[in-house]
Structure 1
Amino acid sequence: MASNPELLDQKQGDDSTAKPNKHTHKSTGRLLLGFAWPVVGMLLGYFAAGLLLGVLLVALVPLIPNLERMVENQRNIYIIFLTSLVGNILIVPIVGLTFKRYLFGKNAKLLDIVGLRRRPTLKDVGITLATFIVYFVTTIIVTGLISQVLPQINLNQKQDLGFDRPTVPVEYFIVFLTVVILPPLLEEFVFRGYMFGALRKQLSFWPATIIVSIAFGAVHGQLNVAIDTFILSIFLCLLREKTDSLWPCILLHAAKNGLAFTLLFLFPELLPTELR
């Protein structure tokens, strides 16, 4: 008896829907892990850094005058800087190496994954400056619209950076490192490097960008800051996509934080009173 091709096709279709697709499950697992692990790994790194520093500093208290007072002050600039520095050092291998083979393949190199396969160039600087201008104008427009549509959101709420205001030159330098240098390096590695790289293997550009930007805004907590960092992240993802490099992202992030540092700590009189 001759078989009916239409019946065979229908049966094959029924079989394919009845049995779960292992490839689909694996892709979903990679998608979820690529989104969640960078944030979890970053939190684990900072927790481990705080734990290690806590044990070390307590051991050194009897040996160093005034160290106990510094340790007790959780907003001490030097303690915050050391925690951030050690956290950065720990987070890179925690996030970058733990699931690298599963998410990117056994032959993938970490520097290639996060977009650091080459050195920064003058072209990167030019692209960064142009993007910074567009980002700045976009932020003004978007926040202006939000203030009109949702006036209950306080867009001028002062951001708590977590440490005391610097008073002497060395403290200003430490704050500069803590605000302008370390966050762009680490956060770009985690979000536009690792997370965006992992999601981009499973999704098209805009879904990956929106997910990364929501996560990036969320980790900054404060709503008005989250809105600003969400907008910033969109431009950072565009840079990552168009240049295939993390360096322009790091430069733009550092420029944005550098402007904030300049206004908050060097020329606060230029800011509205509620932001100082």
Structure 2
Amino acid sequence: MAKPLPEFLRVPWTVPQSLGIFVTAWFALPVGLVVLIVALAQVFSPVHTLLVLIQGSSLQVSFIFDLITAVTALGLVWLALRHYQVGWAEVGWRKFDFWKTALYLVGGFVGFTLVAALLIALVSYLVPSFNANQAQSNDFTGAVKTHVSLTLIALVLIPPIIEETVFRGFIFPAIAKKWGVWGGAIASSVLFGLAHWQANVSIYTFVLGLVLCFLYVKLKSIFPGMLIHMLNNLLAFYALASK
């Protein structure tokens, strides 16, 4: 007999609504903005200047795009919460027990590191062309030494807050209502991996997503997940800065 879904995961919104936020914020919005800018650049010279900056991978423009994505994602979640007349606690913004959380954070981080390493090794064995050591590449990874504050905010602070709220707080419970906790954890973690585009990074973030879903179920708060997510990104930031 299947174990009943925990009460705090019985959210009022639906799977299509949760997937709508994912598709809108991570795919439709960025593509739509680029298409709009390209079209307007043919008519307005200031927009053409912006397009040149985008094509030149301007760090400031990339940061603005990330902020737009973050605000859009949180805004859509807020609209859903308002529609169902519930608060932010419904997406896991709840208090948590510090000492209990500390134990889970240590165990979760160790487990994540081991499982991710094993899965990467397995994929490397099954797919010889898979590059497990491919460096994650975006406009910020190459600027950690020259724009420390901006890249720290863009890589370490913003993503954990937005991604934990959307993927663990909003998408995971919606799918869990249909497919159970494991189904919700796997499906939401697949989406979490896809949001990072790059193959080896997607596998890594898929495992991280599973661990963060586990933490959410055990601790009933996404704040511990944000902490471990920030720690993971901070270690990556430090590794990039040390090169």
Query: Scaled by the length of structure 1, what TM-score is found?
Result: 0.70
Please tell me the root mean square deviation across aligned C-alpha atoms, in Å: 3.3
Counterpart in 1 of 2:200? Answer: 224
Cα distance, 1:127 vs structure 2: 2.4
Counterpart in 2 of 1:161? Answer: 138
Selected match of 2:185 from 204, 209, 213 = 209
Selected match of 1:76 from 58, 64, 70 = 58
Selected match of 1:135 from 109, 112, 121 = 112
User: 1:75 is aligned with what amino acid?
Assistant: S
User: 2:208 is aligned with what amino acid?
Assistant: L
1:91 aligns with 2:69: no
More contact order relative to length (CA 8 Å, sep ≥ 6)? 2
Aligned length: 226
User: 2:194 is aligned with what amino acid?
Assistant: A
Q: Quick one: distance in 2 between partners of 1:167 and 1:118?
A: 33
Query: Contact conserved, 1:46 with 1:91, CA < 8 A, in 2?
Result: no
Q: Quick one: distance in 1 between partners of 2:74 and 2:126?
A: 40
1:36 aligns with 2:19: yes
Based on CA coordinates, which of the two structures has the bigger radius of gyration? 1
Counterpart in 1 of 2:10? Answer: none
Structure 2 residue matching 1:161: 3-state secondary structure: coil
Cα distance, 1:233 vs structure 2: 0.7
CA deviation string 1:217-243 (max 9, x = no partner):
112111111111111111011011111
Query: Contact conserved, 1:38 with 1:194, CA < 8 A, in 2?
Result: no
1:188 aligns with 2:164: yes
CA deviation string 1:129-180 (max 9, x = no partner):
33112211221222222222322211112222234722765x1111111001
Q: Quick one: distance in 1 between partners of 2:103 and 2:193?
A: 26
Cα distance, 1:35 vs structure 2: 4.7
Q: Quick one: distance in 2 between partners of 1:144 and 1:134?
A: 15
CA separation of 1:212 and 1:164: change in aligned 2, threshold 3 A: closer
1:267 aligns with 2:242: yes
Cα distance, 1:123 vs structure 2: 4.2
Larger mean Cα displacement after TM superposition, 241-250 or 72-81: 72-81
Cα distance, 1:200 vs structure 2: 2.3
CA separation of 1:108 and 1:149: change in aligned 2, threshold 3 A: same
Structure 1 residue matching 2:142: 3-state secondary structure: coil
Give 1:238-257 correspondences, 5 Å limit: 238-257=214-233
Query: Scaled by the length of structure 2, what TM-score is found?
Result: 0.78
CA deviation string 1:92-123 (max 9, x = no partner):
1223424764xxxx3432x1221003268454
User: 2:234 is aligned with what amino acid?
Assistant: G
Query: Contact conserved, 2:164 with 2:222, CA < 8 A, in 1?
Result: yes
User: 2:21 is aligned with what amino acid?
Assistant: P
Query: Contact conserved, 2:15 with 2:171, CA < 8 A, in 1?
Result: no
CA separation of 1:194 and 1:122: change in aligned 2, threshold 3 A: same
